[in-house]
A = this chain, B = another copy of it.
Amino acid sequence: MQAVIISIGDELLGGVSVDTNSAYLSRRLAERGIVTVRHETVGDDAGRIAVAIARAADEAEVVVVTGGLGPTPDDLTRKALAAAMGVELVEDARSTERISAYFERIGRQMKPSNLNQAMIPAGAEAIDNDFGTAPGIAAHLGGARVFVLPGPPNEMTGMFERKVTGRLPSAGVIVRKNLHAFGTGESDIGERIADLMARDANPKALPAGRQVGTTAKGGIISIRIAASGAAVGEADALAEKTADEVRRRLGEIIFGQDDQTLPSVVASALKAAGLTLAVAESCTGGMIARMITDTPGASEYFLGGVVSYANSAKVAMLGVRADLLEAHGAVSEQVAAAMAEGARENFGSDFGLSVTGIAGPTGGSADKPVGLVYIALTGPGGSTVHRHIFSGARNIIRRRAALTALNHLRLALRSL
């Protein structure tokens, strides 16, 4: 079963607002086995809205439209739906009453324009709105069920949960899992699981299809797994079997799944091991500390850090010897190791993790190019220094360096 989601509004097409409704609706529909095949955004233009609705009803069994139900003249979704259905707008008496009661409740005078909101296409059904004035609309168009909901997310989501999900046709179940990997490229991962990603493996092929895809974001590669079945158990088993196969092939580069992040996985591992961490950051400038402290309760395992941006700070705050800086430069294996040691000693932590590098855009040389980063880790399992060359803009290099440092710590924790 397929769906098309349409969002309405000049503010979306102008880029003033980002459409988050469509992603939300796609997730909710997917949970019920309904696959979204297209999102479309059109402006406050009755003709264009009518064309979009008619086209969507031609191609999918479920059409969800959000926005354009306000009381002002630029709210044209009601009129456009009526045009697409080839009927007139008629007053829905229950909605008129509810809108009047709403204004009485909030003690504000109703404008005549608010009653426009009680007009719905003949033959359609109003959907009660408990969060605002605009009722939604449920209608049939060709073979499709069409649901129209207000644009503000707080009204839309509440109405969808309470009033629309019960009216949706049912079509099996799709279960999704996302595995997250770090430390190699999307193309490398793609080749290692190419057969699983083959297009004929299709979750739409009920009762037991599956689909595997990849997405790269900020250095993290996510392997998206979707599996379908007649019931949750069946779909979940297929998804889990596929996830196991992906884990088997990719091994330790998989660091987590679904809501887990690299910092949250490292946090859990430190907590489970009862070990503490301190960091010493140069080019990442506080990014690692910030990532770790995003999670509440970080004080259990994170003692703190030094952002040693100036060389003098490396000496004063981390006890890096001035002659090491002199002989090898701030971006060197030796200084990285001394920073990690200094953090561990001065904070009294189990692990010391340090990063020193050249984030650019300037400051590089033939010998030490922009993107060169040393990461040192010292802890219960010994001491290591890793040399990396990252590419991209300054903040990409910084972020990649911070994540790579956390990943070295993750791998060290695994092998304790």
Please list the residues of chain A having a beta carbon within 8 angstroms of any beta carbon in chain B: 9-20, 22-28, 30, 35-44, 48, 52, 70-74, 102, 105-108, 111, 113-114, 131-132, 152, 154, 158, 176, 178, 185-188, 190-191, 194, 197-199, 211, 213-217, 224, 226, 278-279, 281, 283-290, 292-294, 296-299, 302-310, 312-313, 316-317, 346-348, 359-362, 371, 389-396, 398
**Are B309's CB and A299's CB within 8 A?**
yes
Whether B11 lies near A18 (C-beta < 8 A) is no
Residues of chain B within 8 A of A392, CB atoms compared: 131-132, 154
Are A37's CB and B42's CB within 8 A? yes
Contact B347 A313 (CB under 8 A): yes
Q: A113–B190 contact, CB under 8 A?
A: yes
Q: How far is the CB of A335 from chain B (nearest CB, A)?
A: 14
List, sorted by A's number, 24 A–B pairs whose CB atoms are closer than 8 Å: A9-B215, A10-B213, A10-B224, A12-B26, A14-B30, A14-B176, A14-B226, A16-B215, A71-B187, A73-B190, A73-B194, A73-B198, A102-B391, A113-B187, A113-B191, A158-B393, A285-B293, A285-B298, A296-B359, A296-B362, A297-B362, A303-B313, A304-B308, A312-B348
A51 to B370, CA, bound (A): 43
CB closest chain-B residue, reference A305: B307
14 other A-B residue contacts (CB within 8 Å) besides A286-B290, A303-B313:
A10-B211, A13-B39, A15-B27, A15-B28, A39-B40, A70-B190, A74-B197, A152-B216, A279-B307, A284-B293, A303-B310, A304-B310, A306-B306, A317-B347
Q: How many copies does the complex hold?
A: 2
Q: Are A394 and B111 in contact (CB under 8 A)?
A: no
Q: Please indicate the chain B residues that have their CB under 8 angstroms from the CB of A278 in the complex.
A: 313
Chain B residue numbers with a CB within 8 Å of A10 are 211, 213, 224
- Please give, as numbers and ranges, the residues of chain B lying within 8 Å of A19 by CB-CB distance: 18-19, 22-23, 39
